[in-house]
A = this chain, B = another copy of it.
Amino acid sequence: MTKVAMLGTGFIGDFYTYSLHGQRSRDRVQVIYSRDESRGKAFAAKHGIPKWTTSMHEAINDPGIEVVIIGLPNNLHLEAVKQAAQAKKAVFCTKPLGCNAREAREMLEAVEKAGVMHGYMEDLVYTPKTLKALQSVRGGAIGQVTWARSRETHPGPHSDWFWNREISGGGVLLDMGCHCIEIARSYIGKDIRPVEVVCWADTLVKPIDAEDNALGWVRYENGAIGQFEVSWSFRGGMDLRDEVMGTEGTLWVNNFLRTGFEMFTAGGKGGYVAEKAETEKGWIFPVGDEVVELGYTDMFTDLFRAYENKTQPRESFYDGYVVNEIMDACYKSAKSKKWEPVKLDIWRGAEKTGPIRVTRDYDSDHILVKEETMPDGRVKLILKNKKTGKITQTEVRK
């Protein structure tokens, strides 16, 4: 059993604790920290947690505690990480790591200096579908990845602090762009350097200062593009989809809104449907087990195993730092209206990655550009002459 101090009693703290205590798990939250005593107490009662406290320091330094989990608003991550590092406790931090790259870097340096194990809780990289898809991609199933689109949109976050830029550090780009950026980066290859970004961000619908919609492209050194789409004004539930194009295939992952479970109800008595579902009547699309499908279960398995075995988890503070650097460049691009370089003072990936580009010889003189079966059964080939560069077509019957 690993003993955990949970910091934060909000929506994410709830989800984390449900996951940690779910199924036949051997890990337990032993202390819960909340600024507000009544919320801490209620949370402890709900989840069967023995201790609650309004002192973050006390929670972190509780002698039985081995792992500190940070589920606090963005502007409190840095302070919590520093305290955990000082207490020499392993620390898992929710996303985004920092409000910006400067904070993220400070956290990374704090944990590395202290020599404590650290995990970046980017749950959406751990959804069962994503894990299997990444395995297929690494195994070569779709060839080299040329483009990865990750989309997260819903009608807006749960808690008031998200809507307050001083606490959240930004709008939907910071809140959800971090997910999409890391998902796309995982497909393209974490070893490949993100070079530059272009980003659009605007406040189209909500009466707030921060952006409620953002789009971005991250260009990687090999030419691949990571595309993100985030919105707080989507209607219809929570849309969590990824699409990946490779030179030899494609893959589509839908984590939430179309997963093989459909229900029509005339009466609207189905109870809670799913996170941000928006409707309880008509056609609804529930999710089987949300904590599994959103990646929490596999994330904690990876993090606790890494903690026990003293190995590297899939996502560490370094990944959180990279994502924050990309987002900083995005905010810059949204203002400058041009591509902006991703500044990565700390780079731990490959030094140089050549371009994608795959060619297949048709015969000694020609490259095969394309092959297609026509409605009448003919097979059309598009060939390029290697010497002249001329492109011609020919037909064969198969």
Contact = CB atoms under 8 A, between A and B. Distances in A.
A297 B23 contact: yes
Contacts of A156: 369-370, 372, 382
Interface in A154-183: 155-160, 163-164
B267 A249 contact: yes
Contacts of A233: 146, 245, 247
Contacts of A337: 198, 338-339
A217 B216 CA distance: 10
B359 A207 contact: yes
Interface string A12-37: 00100000000111110000000000
B129 A270 contact: no
Interface stretch (A102-110, A186-194, A252-260): A252-260
B133 A263 contact: yes
Interface in A265-290: 265-272, 275-289
A191 B259 CA distance: 30
Contacts of A259: 129, 259-260
Interface string A113-149: 0000000000000011101110110011111001101
Nearest to A375: B272
Contacts of A239: 250
B200 A215 contact: no
B266 A24 contact: no
Contact of A234 (B140, B250, B268): B250
A231 to B, nearest CB: 7
A378 B6 CA distance: 23
Considering residues A223, A235, A377, which has the most beta carbons from chain B within 10 angstroms of its beta carbon? A235
A41 to B, nearest CB: 17
B260 A135 contact: no
A89 interface: no
A77 interface: no
Contact of A208 (B14, B262, B369): B369
A95 interface: no
Interface residues of A, number: 127
A350 B337 CA distance: 26
Interface string A211-246: 001010101000111010101011111010000011
A181 to B, nearest CB: 16
A380 interface: yes
Considering residues A164, A266, A268, which has the most beta carbons from chain B within 10 angstroms of its beta carbon? A266
A225 B200 contact: yes
A339 B338 CA distance: 6
20 contacts: A25-B25, A141-B267, A141-B270, A142-B263, A146-B204, A146-B205, A156-B370, A156-B372, A198-B198, A200-B219, A204-B356, A205-B356, A235-B245, A236-B250, A248-B266, A249-B266, A249-B267, A251-B262, A252-B261, A259-B260
Given A140-B267, A236-B283, 14 more contacts: A24-B301, A25-B26, A133-B261, A146-B213, A158-B380, A160-B391, A200-B217, A250-B263, A251-B263, A253-B260, A254-B260, A288-B293, A338-B338, A338-B339
* Nearest 5 interchain pairs by C-beta: A128-B288, A236-B264, A141-B270, A282-B282, A254-B260
